[in-house]
Chains A and B, each alone.
Chain A
Amino acid sequence: MLKRLISFLFIFIFAVVIFGDLFMDFGYAKTCEEALEECWERYGGTVWGFWYCNLGYVFCKIYIE
């Protein structure tokens, strides 16, 4: 149980810290699709990463289109 908790926390904190800014430049340097692909490549292997990459894509599309 403790091992699962530590593993979850590690993945979550790692994912949040690193891809926190991935979508910050949407509308300027990248398309939403490119940003999502980059996000998936880096973090799509984790459940949280996958969720947040997808959510970032949806926010990105809504914001810039």
Chain B
Amino acid sequence: MRVYRVLVGVLFYISIFSNTFGQELAKKVVLKEVLSIGGEEKDILFQWAGVTTDLSNNIYLTDSIDYSIKKFKEDGTLLKKAGRRGQGPGEFLAPRLIKYFDRFLYVTDQNKPGIQVFDEELNYKESIPLRVPVFDFKVLSKNLIAVSTLIPNESSKCIFFYDEKGNLKDKIEYLKLENESLSMLSIVKFEIDDKNDLYIIYTFQDKIEKFDGKGKKIWSKSLFENREMKMKKPKVSPYQLPEEVVFKDIEFDNKGNIFILAGSWSRNKSRDIYILDKKGNLLTIVTLPESTHCIHIDGQNNLYTRAGMGTILKKYRIEYQ
């Protein structure tokens, strides 16, 4: 009986003083560079836009300048390149995001609707037709893809869930707008964890939010004291434009931490990564040597970022101290 009481006491203590079971909190993070691909003198990368990795640590990139996707070995050796300018299958106008899921690569194009699917050897397999332009997406299973988009004149802002044929299956509303001119302010990037919780970052607002799988808001957080966005009125537009990017990208590491790349409002513009736990508590900030537009973390907790204005990819080992 006494042992039982002690055990209950210990469990109670752990539950009170640990933020989350199963999450190893990052108190200090150090980045060690382990790989660099490209460079101005090497004609390998010209202006890469998206990055992903597979389970064998191969690296896949989209490159906007030569309309391609590229596959690199773990040591940085170029294995294959595919794609060319065009609108046909396997062709690109402005390749952007690339995500690996279960032996396939899913690639978006800024100027083409839908998502193109390739195998690991970069052979084109099929296209998923979508009627909305894709700003961010996550492949949840072979037949379920979550998409963030930018649709004007819609008061309800949602993450949409499509099947592999492009049929809308579900949606989670993250914002209800009263004024449609706020349209661009409501654009978000997101991540979904293994519990189906949704984490969103606003590109043009100081707002990070968590929703459960049914769309109930769990928390909302700001990192820059809810600073107000400066808006600019262009000559030819009825809309005002947000001038600065607040948050650029969101990723999870395999310890359950949330990595958020901040933009112009951070002390080190586009170099600071804010690391939060899943309750939204800020744990630490790590600063990259160079500015980047995106981050990717692989299954071994390696961080991939941009350098050299898109001509270089850097890979860092994340060390937790």
Please give the residue numbers on chain A whose beta carbons come within 8 Å of chain B beta carbons, in ascending order: 13, 16-17, 19-21, 23-24, 27, 33, 36-37, 40-41, 44, 50-52, 54-59, 61-65
Contacts and interface: CB of A to CB of B under 8 A. Distances in A.
Nearest to A54: B150
Main secondary structure of the interface of A (DSSP, over half): helix
B22 interface: no
B235 interface: yes
B81 interface: no
Nearest to B239: A54
Interface of B: 49, 64-65, 87, 93-94, 96, 110-112, 132-133, 135, 150-152, 183-184, 187, 203, 232, 234-237, 241, 244-245, 248, 263-264, 269-270, 293-294, 309-310
- The CB with the most chain A CB atoms within 10 A, among B110, B112, B132, B294, is that of B110
B7 to A, nearest CB: 50
A58 to B, nearest CB: 6
Contacts, number: 81
Main secondary structure of the interface of B (DSSP, over half): loop
A52 B248 contact: no
A55 B150 contact: yes
B94 A23 contact: yes
Nearest to A27: B309
A33 B236 contact: no
Contacts of A59: 96, 110
Contact of B235 (A19, A24, A37, A62): A37
B239 to A, nearest CB: 8
A51 B241 contact: no
A54 B184 contact: yes
B93 A16 contact: yes
23 contacts: A16-B93, A17-B87, A19-B111, A20-B93, A21-B94, A33-B234, A33-B241, A36-B241, A37-B234, A40-B237, A44-B236, A52-B111, A54-B184, A55-B110, A56-B110, A58-B184, A58-B187, A62-B203, A62-B294, A63-B293, A65-B263, A65-B264, A65-B270
